[in-house]
Each structure stands twice: as C-alpha cells, then as structure tokens.
Amino acid sequence: MFPLMTSGIWFVLLTISVVFMNLSPLLMVEGEQQVPCLFIMGDSLFDNGNNNNLITNAKANYPPYGIDFPDGPTGRFTNGKNTADFLAELLGFDKYIEPYATVKGVEIFRGVNYASGAAGIRDESGIHLGDRINLNRQLRHHKATISHMSTLLLLGNKTLTKEYLSKCIYIVGMGNNDYINNYLMPQYYLSSKLYKPEKYATILIQQYYKQLKTLYRYGARKVAVFGVGSLGCIPAELDLYGTKDSICVDSINSAVKKFADKFKPMIDDLNSNLPDANFIYINITSIAIGDPTAIGLTNLAEPCCEISPFIAKGQCKYNGSACSDRASHYFWDGFHPTEIPNLVSAQRAYTALLPTDAYPFDISHLAQL
C-alpha cells in the first residue's frame, strides 16, 4: 500500500518534518497550515472513499452522491464536501486528507482519513450492511501507518515519529451506527434486548474510552471527539418509527442523550489521567441549535435525493434523481446532511459560536497548543 521512497525524497521529508515540529504556533497566519497533519477516524459523516471497494451496501461512490463535489462521486455520503473536508480547509490544508484505502508514500505525513460508512465503536455495528471498518480496525490501520512513518523517519525512529504525531490533530466521530445500525435494529442485533438505554450507553462509553486511550498510546495528543446528534430527527428514523405530536422520535433521542451526556466526563477523565493529553468534545447537538432559515435551510425533514428501496434504505438510489434546491435542504439522504450543514458543523467545531459547542475549548485553540 505504501511504496518505498527514494533516499532523496526521504531526506526532503525528514527536513520538512523537523521544520514542522519546531514551528511555533505564534508564527502561523491565516491561510497557512496550522498543524503538520490531520488524522480522521469515524463513520459515514467523515468517510471519503474507504468503503468504495468493500463488499458492503454502505457506500456512496455513485450518482447522485457528489453531485456538487468537483470530483463527482468519491465515496462521500453527501452532495458535496463533508465536515472533515471543511475542517481540513479551516486548518489550512491545501487539499483534502486522503483515505487510507488509496493514500500512498509521503502523503501519510499530511494525515490519513480512516473513516468508514456504517462503522461503530462496537465491532458488530453495521454488519447487516456488509463489510465496514469499525473503530478497532481503524486503530489497527493507524498503527500500520505509524509503523511505516517510523520506517521512513531515521530508519525506525519511534521517538521522532511520536514527537511528530503529538503536534497533529486527530478528529474522531463515532457512535451513530452503534444506535442507527445496532441498538435501534432489534431485527438484526441483540443489544436492545440485552441492555436498557442507560446500561447500553455506559457499556458504549467504556469501550470508547479504552479505544481513545489506545489512540493516545499510539502518540495522539490533540484529539477532537465529535459527539452524536439527535438521531431521532433524521428522515430514515422518522420514516421507520413515525412520530405522534413531536417533530422527532423522542424515545430515540432520549436513549441517545444518555450516551451523549457521558462525553464530557469521559473527556475530563482522559485529560486528567493521561499526561500531556488534550482531548476536546464537539457537541453536535449544541451546534444544531439555532434558526436554520438564517442560512437558507427551509426543508428540515425531507431527503434531497431519491431514496433506495433496498437493504440500504435511507441511502440514495443508484443514479436516482436529486432535488434542484439543495441549498435549502438540511438532509441529503435519509441519514446524512447536505454540504451546508456540514460547513456549519465544521465552522462551529473550529470556532465555537456557543460555549456549549466545544468543551473545554474548540479546534482552533487545540491547533495552537
């Protein structure tokens, strides 16, 4: 997957790396790359092509996905850019972070996107859709990347590699599929039969905590952990469960909130118990607060693309139609936002608009550490 470099490229890379590691954040100006690299772990909200060649129904490398993206359908589960793309722009990267499935050679030093549609904290989440790269597998992929980086930097210098990684930003967004494609699907999974919502949320956060500690052990020191949103308000769940007098499925939001409420204590624990750790929490529920019409979003419940009637119901139909007023739609398909909400999520994660958007601070401050 990673071709060997010539000695000349190796020397240039080493020189660039040392410069990055000694660059003071105080010298950064707007528009410049603020950190040496960006690593992304997550699900379909961040996936930019890792599922394309997997045997799975959870993929988005076909029209009308990517209808507003310069390269067309790339595997992003939206009409244009996803939140990870916008965050890379805000951090000053001149191009998007490559997916693990296709990244080559020296590109790994800019970062890698490991995110995978249908992936979860729990290994089994999303399995009914086919293959997916769960968080444990993403961590193993990152370990392989680090090993390759160490080989390229001073012939296996792990200390230099860890010093480099400590200056990078990591973005992790997991947990959605542990509900959408696990707990809320009793026809495929036993979790809702075995655990009440509070117990399931506790088990989930405990496993997530261990996985984030593993990421820390691999060298991550600046980590932005994205929470889960109000899953009871997405079109696929509204279609499946229906509502009574409420706009959303309240029982789903209530169950998911038990998990979301555990993020801040987890972040506090990680920062207290791990030396030099800087974990932050991005509160997606808080970011969703506001008047969507202020940014032109007037259709908040209907998908913009024609929905597939098959096993991946909720995703766009292959070569299906798409609405022309995409700028007014919040949802692209039954699960994922259009490009505009993705941009807003990235902007408020980077620079918090409300004190509740990020804890204890936002990504722009994380980059300066």
Residue 42, exposed/middle/buried by CB under 10 A (0-12, 13-18, 19+)? Answer: buried
Of the residues 44, 150, 191, 286, only one is catalytic, namely 44
Q: Over the chain, what is the mean pLDDT?
A: 90
Percent of the chain clearing pLDDT 90 (strictly above) = 81
- Kindly state the average pLDDT of the residues 320-338: 97
Mean pLDDT on 122-130: 97
Q: Under DSSP, is residue 75 helix (H, G, I), strand (E, B) or coil?
A: coil
Q: Could you give the residue ranges of the DSSP H alpha helices within the chain?
A: 7-22, 83-90, 135-152, 158-165, 177-178, 191-194, 197-217, 235-241, 250-260, 263-273, 284-287, 339-350, 363-368
Please report, rounded to a whole number, the percentage of residues in the chain having pLDDT higher than 70.
90
**Other beta carbons less than 10 A from residue 245's beta carbon:** 5
Instruction: Say if residue 22's pLDDT is above 60.
Output: no
Active-site residue (options: 47, 178, 333, 357): 333
Between the CA of residue 7 and those of 104, 250, 280, what are the distances in Å? 16, 59, 39
pLDDT at 1 over 50: no
Q: If you write DSSP's letter for every residue of 232-251 in order, what string do you get?
A: GGSHHHHHHH--SSSSS-HH
- Check if 44 is active-site: yes
Instruction: Pick 7 or 238 by higher pLDDT.
Output: 238
List, in order, residues 6 or more apart from 108 with CB less than 8 Å away: 2, 145, 148, 149
Tell me: pLDDT of 20 over 90: no
Predicted local confidence at residue 331, as pLDDT: 97
Q: Where exactly are the structural domains of the chain?
A: 29-368
172: how many CB neighbours lie within 10 A of its CB? 25
- Please give the pLDDT value at position 62: 97
Residue 308 appears among annotated catalytic residues? no
Q: Is the pLDDT of residue 159 over 90?
A: no
Check pLDDT > 80 for residue 49: yes
* pLDDT surpassing 50 at residue 25: no
Q: Please tell me the predicted confidence (pLDDT) of residue 156.
A: 59
Is 365 among the residues known to form the active site?
Answer: no
Q: Given a cut of 70, is residue 242 above it in pLDDT?
A: yes
Q: What local confidence, expressed as pLDDT, does residue 262 receive?
A: 98
Q: Mean pLDDT over residues 186-207, rounded?
A: 98
**What is the predicted pLDDT for the residue at 155?**
57
**pTM of the complete model:** 0.90
**Residue 324 pLDDT > 90:** yes
pLDDT band for 154, please (50, 70, 90 cuts). Answer: low
CA 255 – CA 297 distance, rounded (Å): 27
Fold of 29-368: Rossmann fold (3.40.50)
**Tokens (6 digits) for 199:** 């117990």
Of 350, 21, 271, 42, residue with least CA distance to 166? 21
Averaged over 125-148, what is the pLDDT?
A: 97
299-319 per-position pLDDT tens digit: 999 999 999 987 678 999 999
Q: Pick the catalytic residue from 141, 142, 329, 336.
A: 336
